């Protein structure tokens, strides 16, 4: 693709694919990897660099986002109250933490954490699916009962769009929320001390650090 074509593509679409980049696999060090990167333009929102890597040798996969314009450690809180609020989009980079205080649910970063974009309803559906999956491992009626009760709780939020807060924290400022109603979004810049307490799931970074040591 010529530079001119890339430019035209850039103007015409919200997402544009870029040329492959050569990166070694952080797990097996193979150079038999495929990396796709693209810039996502969302109106009224900072540009995101989306990064997807697959290793053909060990099957390691990694998705992540980098916010191209906002780099401070940040906490977002969205106060969802109705069906429209539940359509708010959550952009979760691999190092982002998602917390639903009212239902005691948390999605934490870890070595296998992936970046994703989903709305609040979709994330609750995912949590529901993962909770149901636990039924297979439950080894008492009491435990199964607990799991079913939790699924019922999730269902009531998903079906009735009950008021719920979603908290998104990211020490690198890569995660964010695209609010259905901007007046219901709180953006809090974290102090360096608060940011340090957040877990990160930076597998590529860790591997690079090992090499430096």
Q: How far is the CB of 112 from Zn ion (least distance, A)?
A: 14
Q: What is the DSSP string of 123-167?
A: HHHHHHHHHHHHGGG--SHHHHHHHHHHHHHHHHHHHH---EEEE
Q: Which of 13, 30, 47, 149 binds Zn ion (CB under 5 A)?
A: 30
- In this chain, which stretch among 28-36, 37-45, 114-122, 127-135 interacts with Zn ion, using CB under 5 A? 28-36
47 lies in the binding site for Zn ion (CB under 5 A): no
Q: How far is the CB of 54 from Zn ion (least distance, A)?
A: 9
15 lies in the binding site for Zn ion (CB under 5 A): no
31 lies in the binding site for Zn ion (CB under 5 A): no
Task: Choose between 33 and 88: whose C-beta lies nearer to Zn ion.
Answer: 33
Q: Which of 6, 21, 28, 106 binds Zn ion (CB under 5 A)?
A: 28
Q: Are strands 74-80 and 89-92 parallel, antiparallel or unpaired?
A: unpaired
Question: Footprint of Zn ion on residues 51-70 (CB under 5 A)?
Answer: 55, 57-58, 60
27 lies in the binding site for Zn ion (CB under 5 A): yes
Q: How many residues does the chain have?
A: 213
Q: How far is the CB of 209 from Zn ion (least distance, A)?
A: 18
- In this chain, which stretch among 7-15, 29-37, 142-150, 202-210 interacts with Zn ion, using CB under 5 A? 29-37
């Amino acid at each position: 693709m010529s530079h001119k074509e890339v430019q035209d593509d850039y103007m015409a679409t919200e997402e544009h694919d870029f040329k492959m980049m050569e990166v070694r696999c952080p797990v097996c060090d193979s150079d038999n990897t495929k990396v796709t990167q693209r810039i996502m333009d969302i109106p009224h929102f900072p540009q995101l660099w989306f990064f997807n890597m697959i290793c053909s040798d060990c099957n390691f996969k990694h998705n992540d986002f980098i916010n191209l314009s906002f780099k401070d450690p940040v906490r977002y809180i969205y106060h969802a109250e109705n069906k429209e609020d539940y359509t708010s989009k959550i952009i979760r980079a691999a190092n982002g933490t998602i917390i639903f205080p009212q239902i005691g649910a948390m999605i934490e970063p870890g070595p296998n954490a992936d970046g994703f974009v989903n709305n609040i309803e979709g994330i609750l559906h995912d949590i529901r699916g993962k909770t149901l999956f636990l039924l297979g491992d439950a080894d008492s009626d009491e435990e199964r009962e607990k799991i079913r009760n939790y699924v019922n709780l999730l269902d009531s939020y998903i079906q009735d769009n009950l008021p719920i807060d979603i908290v998104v924290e990211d020490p690198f400022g890569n995660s964010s929320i695209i609010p259905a109603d901007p007046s219901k979004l709180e953006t809090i810049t974290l102090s360096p001390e608060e940011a340090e307490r957040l877990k990160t799931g930076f597998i590529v970074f860790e591997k690079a650090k090992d090499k430096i040591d």
